[in-house]
């Protein structure tokens, strides 16, 4: 697993740390619960309290996805949700076989979590 280290002035770090401590302001859409995303992932401030996958509370503010495998762009986020095994073979995240509407709703929701 890759790790990215960012060095920055203390005030910038303090602002980042305060933002990371905040809960999500949006509740997940029905697709998040129905797709069992919340069974594996936490989104603080919501009913999603999974502890298998990464905390997604501020996923849209990250620079990368899939342990630095891809840049965190709207297109890559959509692809990661839709076909995780193609993005990072062997990842524990399953293919959820989402409908187009569910996939778009999840992508929009996760893309809003800053």
Q: Rounded to an integer, what distance in angstroms lies between the CA atom of residue 94 and that of residue 85?
A: 7
- What is the model's pLDDT at position 1? 65
- What is the model's pLDDT at position 53? 92
- What is the model's pLDDT at position 33? 78
Q: Which two tokens stand for residue 28?
A: 């997940």
Q: Which residue has the tokens 């999974």?
A: 50
Q: Which two tokens stand for residue 74?
A: 């709207």
Q: Which residues of 69-87 are buried (b: 16+ CB within 10 A; e: fewer)?
A: ebebeeebbbbbbbebeeb
Tell me 65's DSSP state: E
- What is the model's pLDDT at position 36? 82
Please say whether the beta carbons of 34 and 105 come within 8 A: no
- What is the model's pLDDT at position 3? 82
pLDDT tens digit at each of 114 positions of the chain: 678 899 999 999 999 999 999 999 888 988 887 768 989 999 999 989 999 999 999 999 999 999 899 999 999 999 999 999 999 999 999 888 889 999 999 999 999 999
The domain limits of the chain are: 26-112
26-112 has which fold?
Immunoglobulin-like (2.60.40)
Residue in 32, 60, 56 with CA at minimum distance from that of residue 45: 56
- What is the model's pLDDT at position 46? 92
Work out the end-to-end distance of the chain between its first and last CA atoms, rounded to an integer number of angstroms.
23
């Amino acid at each position: 697993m890759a790790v990215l280290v960012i060095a920055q002035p203390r005030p910038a770090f303090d602002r980042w740390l305060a933002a990371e401590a905040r809960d999500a302001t949006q509740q997940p859409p029905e697709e998040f619960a129905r797709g069992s995303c919340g069974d594996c992932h936490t989104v603080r401030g919501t009913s999603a309290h999974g502890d298998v996958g990464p905390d997604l509370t501020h996923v849209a503010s990250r620079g990368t996805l899939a342990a630095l495998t891809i840049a965190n762009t709207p297109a890559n986020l959509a692809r990661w949700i839709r076909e995780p095994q193609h993005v990072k073979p062997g990842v524990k995240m399953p293919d959820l076989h989402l409908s187009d509407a569910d996939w778009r709703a999840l992508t929009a929701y996760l893309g809003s979590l800053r």
